[in-house]
Amino acid sequence: MADAAPSRLERRKARTRAALIHAAQAFIANGKTNMAVLELTQAADVGMGSFYNHFSSKEELFQAAVEDALDRHGAALDELTRGMDDPAEIFAYSFRLTGRLHRHQPQLSKVMLNTGVTLATSEHGLAPRTRRDIQAGIQAGRFTVGDPELALMMAAGATLCLGQLLHTQPHRDDAQDTDQIAEDLLRTFGISADEARQICQRPLPDLDRLLPNTAA
């Protein structure tokens, strides 16, 4: 039996929650998290009572906002890599797309950057997926790293530092820089230089079409 369509009340609640999360993501992207709940509700254009129908505190909202942004991006990567068999190509493909979003999706990028090193240990978004791909690469004999958690830390650190560099040096070529780091990571993980270069030169989808509303 098919699930019943959401009621009008449920749709209104979903819109209110989405508006609060979107407002929180905008504040996080701007590095501004020290504000009153009233300021958040005004930005979301919802009432104070509506806020507490969804979240018990500002901190809970911010956590939900970060998790929402990371999960949206992670889900998009899962869809795009569906059907790929080579863990090395999946890892590189995901890294190359994520690196490009720093320019193409600046709000999402800044949410990630302001999350900081906790990005590497989060149960949402990139970290669990990168861990999965690294472990798959080890099991398939594609990667020769001794400790998948250390490999994950290298990848996460590269993602964050690359994003910061691209924001502070807007003249840099985001695609070229991202592909170079992806290539270097593959070599570090045990892929030959020639193959790493080939993998990181393969075409990617149009980024403007890829994640149109990731941080919305």
Instruction: Identify the band that residue 157 occupies on the pLDDT scale cut at 50, 70 and 90.
Output: very high
Supply the pLDDT for residue 209: 54
Which CATH number do you get for residue 105? Answer: 1.10.357.10
Backbone phi, then psi, for 111, in 5-degree steps? Answer: -60, -45
Query: 212 in a domain, yes or no?
Result: no
Q: Is the residue at 208 inside a domain?
A: no
Q: Hey, what are 30's tokens?
A: 């701007």
pTM: 0.78
- Residue 1 pLDDT grade (very low, low, confident, very high; cuts 50, 70, 90): very low
3-class DSSP assignment, residue 73: helix
Residue 213 covered by a domain: no
Domain count of the fold of the chain: 1
Q: Going by C-beta distance under 8 Å and a sequence separation of 6 or more, which residues neighbour residue 124?
A: 66, 67, 70, 71, 74
The answer to the question of residue 216 being in a domain is no
Residues 6+ apart with CB under 8 A from 55: 20, 61, 64
Q: What is the pLDDT of residues 68-90, one digit of tens each?
A: 877 887 888 888 888 899 999 99
Q: Which pLDDT band, with edges at 50, 70 and 90, does 212 fall under?
A: very low
Whether residue 59 lies inside any domain: the answer is: yes
176: number of CA atoms within 13 Å, CB side? 3
Q: What percent of the chain has pLDDT over 90?
A: 46
Query: What's the pLDDT at 92?
Result: 96
Kindly state whether residue 214 falls inside one of the protein's structural domains.
no
Quick check: is 157 in a domain? yes
Q: What is the mean pLDDT of residues 174-193?
A: 97
3-state helix, strand, coil in the chain (%, to 5): 70, 0, 30
Short-list 173, 67, 169, 152, CA closest to 112: 67
The lowest-confidence range among 3-7, 46-50, 95-99 is: 3-7
In a domain, 2, yes or no: no
- The reported pLDDT for the residue numbered 104 is 83
Tell me the residue range of the domain where 154 lies.
Answer: 8-203
Q: CA 49, CA 38: separation in Å to the nearest integer?
A: 10
Quick one: pLDDT at residue 2?
A: 53
Digit-coded pLDDT (tens) for 197-207: 999 999 988 76
Please tell me the distance from the alpha carbon of residue 162 to that of residue 100, in angstroms, as a whole number: 10
Q: Check pLDDT > 50 for residue 213.
A: no
